[in-house]
Amino acid sequence: MVMEALLDIGRFFINPLLYIALLAAIILGYFRVKKERKQFRTRIVWGGREFGDLLKDGILYALLYSVLFSALGLAVPLEWLVALTLVSTIVLLSGVYQLASFIYLTAAAAFLGWLLNYYGWTIPFGIFDYSGYPIAWNWLLPVALIAGAMVFLEGQLISRHGAEASSPRTQKTSRGGTAIFYRAKRLWLIPLLLVVPGDLLDSYLPYWPQFPIGDSRFSFMLFPAVIGFQSRARKTLPLHLYPWLGKKVWMLGIAVIILALFSYVWEPMALAALLAGVIGRASIAIVTSIQENKGNHAVAPQTTGVMIVDVLANSPAHKMGLLRGEVIRKVNGLTVTNEAELYEAIQVNAAHCRLEVIDHNKEMRLRQHVIFRHDHYRLGLIVV
pLDDT tens column, 12-26: 678 899 999 999 999
> For residues 380 and 283, which has the higher predicted lDDT (pLDDT)?
283
Same domain, 35 and 96: yes
Same domain, 276 and 326: no
pLDDT of residue 3: 55
Burial environment of residue 151 by CB neighbours within 10 A (0 to 12, 13 to 18, 19 or more) = buried
β partners of residue 170: 180
Would 297 be classed as within a structural domain? no
Same domain, 79 and 114: yes
> How much helix, strand and coil, in percent to the nearest 5, is found in the chain?
50, 20, 30
pTM over 0.75: yes
Q: Residues 93, 97, 100, CA angle at the centre, nearest 5°? A: 90
Would 173 be classed as within a structural domain? yes
Same domain, 322 and 209: no
Would 36 be classed as within a structural domain? yes
Q: Are strands 352-358 and 364-370 parallel, antiparallel or unpaired?
A: antiparallel
Mean per-residue pLDDT for 43-59?
93
> For residues 318 and 232, which has the higher predicted lDDT (pLDDT)?
232
**Phi and psi of 241, rounded to 5°?**
-70, -50
Same domain, 226 and 311: no
Would 301 be classed as within a structural domain? no
Same domain, 75 and 199: yes
Q: Are strands 381-383 and 306-311 parallel, antiparallel or unpaired?
A: antiparallel
pLDDT of residue 221: 82
Q: Which CATH number is 353's domain given?
A: 2.30.42.10
Contact 77, 133 (CB under 8 A): yes
Would 300 be classed as within a structural domain? no
Residue that finishes a domain, picked among 264, 292, 320? 292
Same domain, 98 and 155: yes
Domain residue limits at 352: 306-383
Contact 325, 239 (CB under 8 A): yes
> For residues 212 and 130, which has the higher predicted lDDT (pLDDT)?
130
**Does pLDDT of 149 surpass 80?**
yes
Same domain, 339 and 199: no
Q: Among the listed ranges 172-176, 291-295, 342-346, which one has the minimum average pLDDT value?
A: 172-176
pLDDT in tens, 76-115: 998 999 999 999 999 999 999 999 999 999 999 999 999 9
Question: pLDDT tier at 319 (50, 70, 90 boundaries)?
Answer: confident
Contact 229, 100 (CB under 8 A): yes
Would 299 be classed as within a structural domain? no
Question: pLDDT tier at 216 (50, 70, 90 boundaries)?
Answer: low
Same domain, 135 and 256: yes
Those residues whose C-beta lies under 8 Å from the C-beta of residue 3, and which sit 6 or more positions away, are: none
- In the chain, the number of structural domains is 2
pLDDT of residue 372: 62
SS3 state at 228 = strand
Same domain, 197 and 281: yes
AA letter at 285: A
